[in-house]
């Protein structure tokens, strides 16, 4: 019976030693897990900050894009207005050129008429001179 008690005591001591080792391993594992958890929490915090910054950047870029679209729209409208103005100016210039061409043609006709009238006047003056000369001689 003594042997059986010694065996039981030895077995109990072995089990206690095993439990102590397992407890120590569990504590080490828990400490490692807590360290990993803290690292994970820190990483989540860092990533959360980065995500917030990314959202702010996206919002800022969206606002900038909206402003660019507004500017493009305004510039397009201004460009269209300039085209209409240019077309109006070109039309007015064409009309003025046609008017100037018409006036130039009328001026050329008037010059031709003046020249004809001057030639007729000169001829009439010559005829009068001849008549006056013939009258003196007669």
- pLDDT digits 0-9 by tens, 8-17: 899 999 999 9
Q: What is the pLDDT of residue 136?
A: 84
Cα separation, 46 vs 68, whole angstroms: 32
Confidence of residue 32 (pLDDT cuts 50, 70, 90): very high
Residue 135 has pLDDT above 90, yes or no: no
> Does 137 reside within a domain?
no
Name the one residue in this structure whose structure tokens are 């950047």.
Answer: 57
Residue 118 has pLDDT above 90, yes or no: yes
Rounded to a whole number of angstroms, the CA Rg of the chain reads 58
Cα separation, 61 vs 49, whole angstroms: 18
Q: What is the pLDDT of residue 56?
A: 98
- Cβ atoms < 10 Å from Cβ of 96: 10
Number of domains in the chain: 1
- Over residues 85-89, the mean pLDDT reads 98
Q: What is the pLDDT of residue 134?
A: 84
Cα 60 to Cα 3, 38, 50, 52, 67: the distances in Å are 83, 33, 15, 12, 11
Cα separation, 34 vs 37, whole angstroms: 5
Q: What is the pLDDT of residue 5?
A: 86
Which residue range(s) make up the domain with 31? 1-99
> Does 108 reside within a domain?
no
When the pLDDT of each residue in the chain is averaged and rounded to a whole number, the result is: 95
> Does 85 reside within a domain?
yes
Higher confidence at residue 114 or residue 7? Answer: 114
Confidence of residue 54 (pLDDT cuts 50, 70, 90): very high
Cα separation, 25 vs 138, whole angstroms: 163
Residue 36 has pLDDT above 90, yes or no: yes
Cα separation, 36 vs 46, whole angstroms: 15
What 8-state DSSP symbol labels residue 1?
-
> Does 125 reside within a domain?
no
> Does 74 reside within a domain?
yes
> Does 105 reside within a domain?
no
Cα separation, 98 vs 90, whole angstroms: 12
Kindly report whether the global pTM for this prediction surpasses the value 0.75: no
């Amino acid at each position: 019976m003594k042997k059986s008690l010694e065996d039981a005591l030895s077995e109990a001591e072995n089990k206690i030693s095993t439990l102590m080792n397992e407890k120590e391993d569990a504590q080490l594992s828990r400490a490692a897990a807590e360290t990993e958890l803290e690292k994970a929490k820190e990483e989540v915090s860092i990533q959360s900050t980065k995500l917030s910054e990314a959202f702010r950047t996206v919002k800022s870029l969206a606002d900038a894009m909206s402003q660019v679209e507004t500017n493009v729209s305004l510039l397009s409208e201004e460009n269209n207005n300039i085209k209409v103005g240019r077309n109006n100016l070109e039309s007015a210039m064409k009309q003025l050129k046609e008017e100037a061409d018409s006036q130039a043609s009328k001026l050329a006709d008037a010059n031709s008429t003046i020249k004809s009238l001057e030639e007729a006047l000169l001829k009439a003056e010559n005829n009068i001179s001849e008549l006056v000369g013939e009258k003196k001689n007669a």
